[in-house]
Chain A
């Protein structure tokens, strides 16, 4: 195909990000999602396509490469899925005016979507002359020319959402945290940090931070919270169970250590557990593996020093990055879209992604 060299040029940022993901040079969900969106923008701006399927295929192949590079970081796939969802939405809206009905099958996903007011729709409606000419032989670029600005806008929306995610999550904080409550959190999570800080504007409460070994992210978390005037205790992980009877709420960030321990302890004391996470962390994928497989394992050096020569040979160290929290242990999910009880989470997922994109 004549477009081959161009797509090759477009592949370079994809390969670069894939290598970075593999080498763990990009870590953290938000960071990864941002990088993915930026790469997608580069790819789309360079891509040449004549119909919607080609465009979807290009984006899917990018998604596939990036997910292969780091299958454990779900935000990569989520960002790609979300973009695909936006593109289809735009496309459907634009082609609705035409006599031909949408070829997309009628799934519950777009069923729900029909009722969702979206900003782009308003923009599109003003531009009612948006005519999509697919597979136009005289002017093969016409389709790309009309659709590209819309797609770029959609990517920009994703980027904006990622940038404002913390503020939006923080909005509902004052309704969930009340005065004189004792909140338990574990380790460091930027989301939970902003959440608690924005609640602190309205109420006075106490936070207990478990230090979360062996990374001890809790240390930074406690320092940051207490510097913004929240009364904070730093406790070792082992005392979580003992303290749980005093705790009125457990707030966790998605992707953290040791959540299992805290949430089972919370269940034993019937303490409500809240999970704060940006919507971009929601994934339509199932945890197909056992509890263990969703995890990521780092090197043992933070648990057992390399200099302990004699032990290294005899001890197998397991040092997980994250822990898997069973859904039945969580009472409320707080996202930048608002609060959701666990039973309605599926709706959020359906709204955000298309079913056909679950597997690339």
Chain B
């Protein structure tokens, strides 16, 4: 008897959970990319400090602010470090009211999608949850978003996700240029109708919007000014959808795009345009720079260094957004200059004539005489000797920089590097400690090896720039290999696009045909007249979704297999008398399995119905047979996903024209019309199409038949017209006599 007792006990727990409404959150504490390398060589990205507190602390503080009670931290690389960091932080204290559970995932988790599948298999989620990354800085009241999401779920079970976005303008520093998106929203409900990912290079100049979203949504906003905050409220179905679609990698680019583009899933995703609050992800070194500036200029209030520092430091806020520790441990020389938007860590020393401008400095650092730091982000325990110039760079913990060194824009210096006096690191170079100490990320060992080989070759020339007594390994600047590289890397991670994610890169040499102006122009025109269909959008969608000559096209092996499968399944359905729902589910699955366009399924269904009508002698019994058959199975045509009467008629026409049952066309069409499977307007619209007349068909025999069917259609329209005028007369005469006229 233990088996029945167990589920009952778990269901009890679930009930209790529902009563308590525990708000759960999932933090994906891995970036799944290498944008911060080499800083992330021996620590996970979520433990990189920003404004002297680790990214994970900022994220947890943001969640605690929003009243989240239970947090699952999904860690992959350096999982032990993440676990230890959580244990040693204030969050492990019971009084914080936050229950944090670190969840280790396999090394084979390569994308957020894999992590979501992992969440699904762990079965840790019990209700709608908040999904964030471990690099989020946010003060948005997420609980309000969750409430809005849950209210929506009460009326619409298919609203599976709410994405938090913020209006930021097209050129905001915090909006990632390399990884943004065009959102198509319903203006009234802010339902996200379409998601078009965009990258910085090649610049996106054209957004393709499926035309069917314009039906039923009269007020549409096409927006290119939204900053994706990466806070998603997900329903329980979301991990299971990831499980079903094993190829979904990225949450936005694959999942959101996929769900919205799919006409099978019938799920809705909504946007929450945050009016108040701030949220952004430290996705790359460029956004690291932007978000540091946002924190220092207090956009994240009350989550600012002098008020609620996640690491527990106490800072004084001085005029010009300068943050100096309260404990008086900082030693500032009388002649040093501390510029605006600067944060100094505890026990840091800034010596004579040094300048620190728009930079953050970690704890226990020393800045030498006459050194200039501009936009430099320096982690803990760094020693910078006299007369150095550091600009727009990230310096890892424990780095030692010798006298008179220059570190150029966009450089990353890994933890523990020693740079001798007079080192000149050119822009965008990365340094790591000596090769012996360099341990690559196990997951991409092969990649590292080849890069290492390449780097070693250039090492003699590169290491000339290092001063004496250096302990460093300079990675060569990668040059764009436009042809070779893009083969194995997707658009997002391509070299040129990644330059948009890099600190201190002004992309002056990139050929950008001003992507901003083109898209904003589009936006302007479509926003001003939201209910008209943008010209280029229709053209493209029709080109993609309607292949012109379907039946005669050569079919690939996969499609052939699909067609046999569909035929078999239909035969089974017809002979065994399945219910319409079951038959349609079977067809949908088949379609998903072989990834064919919807039209193919419709063709197969129409063909199946037409071919299976029993042939009998005489027009009247034949009509009865057709009626019976269409009554039983006709609805299947529309159940397989999406109603498109015009397409149905045109498929029927082409099928009949190429089949022996050519003479049944008129009667079947009439039967479809009687059963409301096609509407009168559909027949009219089909009839005016040039293809309906057989345009573009070479085969003379086929052409003749097509033309004949067209004439049949013309006759039917004529009949409909007459009927309409009759009906008009009838209704004018007397309504009660309507029955007689039939």
Contact = CB atoms under 8 A, between A and B. Distances in A.
Interface of A: 11-12, 15-16, 19, 22-24, 68, 70, 292-293, 297-301, 306-310, 312-313, 316-319
A307 B616 CA distance: 71
Nearest to B170: A309
Contacts of A301: 276, 278, 299
A77 to B, nearest CB: 16
Interface string B302-343: 110001100000101111110000000000000000001100
B652 interface: no
Interface of B: 64-65, 93-97, 166-175, 225, 276, 278, 293, 297-303, 307-308, 314, 316-321, 340-341
A299 B321 CA distance: 12
A295 to B, nearest CB: 9
28 contacts: A12-B95, A16-B97, A22-B307, A22-B308, A23-B302, A23-B303, A24-B307, A24-B308, A68-B314, A292-B319, A293-B316, A297-B298, A297-B301, A299-B298, A299-B299, A299-B301, A300-B298, A300-B299, A301-B276, A301-B278, A306-B167, A307-B172, A310-B171, A312-B172, A312-B173, A313-B173, A313-B293, A317-B297
Contact of B169 (A11, A68, A292, A309): A309
A68 B307 CA distance: 9
A309 B173 CA distance: 7
Contacts of B169: 307-310
B65 to A, nearest CB: 5
B299 A297 contact: no
Given A16-B95, A23-B65, A316-B321, A309 B168 contact: yes
Contact of A299 (B225, B300, B314, B318): B300
Given A11-B95, A24-B302, A306-B168, 10 more contacts: A19-B64, A22-B302, A23-B302, A300-B298, A301-B299, A309-B173, A312-B173, A313-B293, A316-B297, A318-B319
Contacts of A292: 318-319
A316 B358 CA distance: 12
A331 to B, nearest CB: 29
A189 B340 CA distance: 33
B171 A309 contact: yes
Nearest to A302: B276
A319 B298 CA distance: 9
B287 to A, nearest CB: 13
B301 A307 contact: no
A300 B314 CA distance: 21
Sorted nearest first, the 4 A-B pairs with minimum C-beta distance are A309-B169, A309-B172, A299-B301, A15-B95
B707 to A, nearest CB: 58
B167 A307 contact: yes
A297 B278 contact: no
Nearest to B300: A299
Contacts of B65: 23
A107 to B, nearest CB: 29
Nearest to B307: A22
Contacts of B314: 68
A298 B303 CA distance: 10
Contacts of B340: 316
Contacts of B173: 309, 312-313
A253 B262 CA distance: 59
Most buried by B among A15, A299, A313: A299
A321 to B, nearest CB: 10
B558 to A, nearest CB: 46
Contacts of A293: 316
Contacts of B297: 300, 316-317
Contacts of B225: 307, 309
Nearest to B169: A309
A23 B60 CA distance: 13
Contacts of B321: 316
Contacts of B302: 22-24
Contacts of B298: 297-300, 319
A312 B296 CA distance: 12
Nearest to A12: B95
Contacts of B299: 299-301, 306
B100 to A, nearest CB: 15
A308 B173 CA distance: 10
Given A16-B95, A309-B175, A316-B340, A23 B308 contact: yes
